[in-house]
């Protein structure tokens, strides 16, 4: 059982928190993390946690459907932009956990904070018979003809973020690269899993823009896959954790956020092969300081979302 010191210091007696004996937690993956956090928090605090886990789109749709009768207390999505949107709509409670001190400033806000972080990468099947790619542009080579997949940016927020990041770093050359990939037979089968599965099965050689923690996890399970982050740069995808303004259990919600950002909570995040949000917690894989991170103006990109997806659809004509 984890020690109760941090929670007790933040909120006094745990018995006070236990008066709110249930917390509702909505979250996008990764699989197993939500249940692990819920179980550990319940052992720590005595507060049971009801979990709803789905894609970010499904989580946001459920929140919208419940707008007249909100059910969730704490929400984690896979899209930083979703948290910014909810903040601007006045849907979030202001809270910055005392455990967020070691979270980089770019990954925390007065109303939300990163739970963990992933990056976008090339996921390459080491038994595909193709040369090991080192850069994004390598996947446009003849050796990868008809052997590259990419998640659909209309269904994958991370794939959209990658396009926006490459455009930021490369300008129109990013669109030329996507055109070259399309001409080389790149397929865009759907969300992240639909792009990764053909590579795991050997039907394709590489994913352009794989969510790295998923691929690291599959490699750890014995799949013949390598995660390659180009030295030229990539984007990171922090997963915002937020408390809804409508929560009926604000103290319990704050305690849960504190726990997720505690040593024990961040260790559970790390076990999923994500980067911990806290810079002082060591992960199982390379961290932010090991990557060349492309900085993106989130507000400017969000305002151009429809335009960017439309241009992608025009260029990648084999969708």
Class of domain 118-235+292-315: alpha beta
**Could you report the per-residue pLDDT of 214-226, keeping only the tens digit for each?**
999 999 999 999 9
Question: 5-117+238-285 and 118-235+292-315 share one CATH topology?
Answer: yes
Kindly report, residue by residue over 160-214, the tens digit of the pLDDT.
999 999 999 999 999 999 999 999 999 999 989 999 999 999 999 999 999 999 9
Query: In the predicted model, is pLDDT for residue 30 greater than 90?
Result: no
What are the residue boundaries of the structural domains of the chain, listed by start?
5-117+238-285, 118-235+292-315
Instruction: Quote the CA–CA distance of 255 and 244 in Å, as a whole number.
Output: 14
Comparing C-alpha atoms, which of 296, 302, 277 is closest to residue 105? Answer: 277
For the segment 91-112, the average pLDDT, to the nearest whole number, is 97
Whether the pLDDT of residue 127 is over 50: the answer is yes
Distance CA 259, CA 255 (A): 6
- Interatomic CA distance for residues 6 and 19, integer angstroms: 18
Percent of the chain with pLDDT over 70: 93
Phi first, then psi, for residue 135 (nearest 5°) are -130, 160
Task: Indicate the pTM of the whole model.
Answer: 0.84
Q: Mean pLDDT in the chain?
A: 91
Structure-token pair, residue 88: 């601007």
Given a cut of 90, is residue 38 above it in pLDDT?
Answer: yes
Tens digit of each residue's pLDDT (9 = 90 or more) over 288-315: 989 999 999 888 888 898 999 999 999 9
CB atoms within 10 A of CB 94: 11
Residue 293, beta-bridge partner list: 234
Q: Which residues touch 11 (CB under 8 Å, ≥6 apart)?
A: 17, 251, 254, 255
Instruction: Output 67 or 7, whichever has higher pLDDT.
Output: 67
The CA distances from residue 207 to 134, 150, 152, in Å, are 13, 6, 11
Q: What is the mean pLDDT of residues 68-77?
A: 95
pLDDT band at 242 (very low <50, low <70, confident <90, very high): very high
Res 7: pLDDT: 40
Question: Residue 113: in which H helix or E strand, if any?
Answer: strand 112-125
**Domain formed by 5-117+238-285, architecture:** 3-Layer(aba) Sandwich (3.40)
Give me the pLDDT at residue 317, please. 63
Residue 318, pLDDT above cutoff 60? no
Compute the distance between CA of residue 148 and CA of residue 184 in angstroms, rounded to an integer: 8
């Amino acid at each position: 059982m984890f020690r109760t010191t941090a929670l007790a210091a933040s909120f006094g007696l745990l018995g006070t928190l236990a008066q709110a004996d249930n917390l509702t937690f909505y979250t996008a993956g990764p699989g197993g993390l939500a249940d692990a956090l819920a179980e550990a928090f319940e052992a720590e605090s005595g507060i049971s946690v009801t979990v709803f886990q789905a894609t970010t789109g499904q989580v946001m749709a459920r929140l919208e459907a419940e707008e007249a009768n909100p059910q969730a207390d704490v929400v984690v999505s896979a899209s930083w932009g979703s948290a910014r949107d909810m903040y601007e709509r006045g849907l979030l409670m202001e809270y910055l956990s005392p455990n967020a001190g070691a979270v980089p400033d770019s990954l925390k806000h007065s109303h939300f904070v990163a739970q963990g972080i992933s990056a976008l990468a090339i996921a390459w099947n080491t038994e595909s018979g193709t040369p090991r790619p080192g850069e994004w542009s390598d996947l446009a080579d003849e050796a990868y003809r008809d052997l590259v997949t990419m998640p659909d940016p209309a269904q994958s927020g991370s794939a959209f973020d990658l396009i926006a990041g490459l455009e930021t770093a490369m300008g129109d050359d990013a669109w030329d690269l996507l055109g070259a990939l399309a001409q080389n037979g790149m397929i865009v089968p759907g969300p992240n899993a639909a792009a990764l599965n053909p590579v795991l099965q050997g039907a394709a050689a590489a994913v352009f823009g794989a969510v790295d923690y998923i691929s690291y996890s599959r490699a750890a399970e014995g799949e013949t896959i390598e995660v390659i982050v180009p030295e030229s740069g990539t984007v990171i995808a922090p997963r915002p954790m937020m408390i809804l303004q409508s929560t009926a259990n604000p103290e319990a919600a704050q305690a849960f956020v504190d726990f997720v950002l505690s040593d024990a909570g961040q260790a559970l995040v790390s076990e999923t092969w994500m980067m911990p949000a806290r810079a002082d917690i060591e992960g199982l894989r390379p961290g932010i300081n090991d990557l060349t991170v492309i900085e993106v103006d989130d507000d400017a990109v969000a305002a151009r979302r429809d335009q960017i997806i439309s241009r992608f659809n025009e260029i990648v004509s084999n969708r």
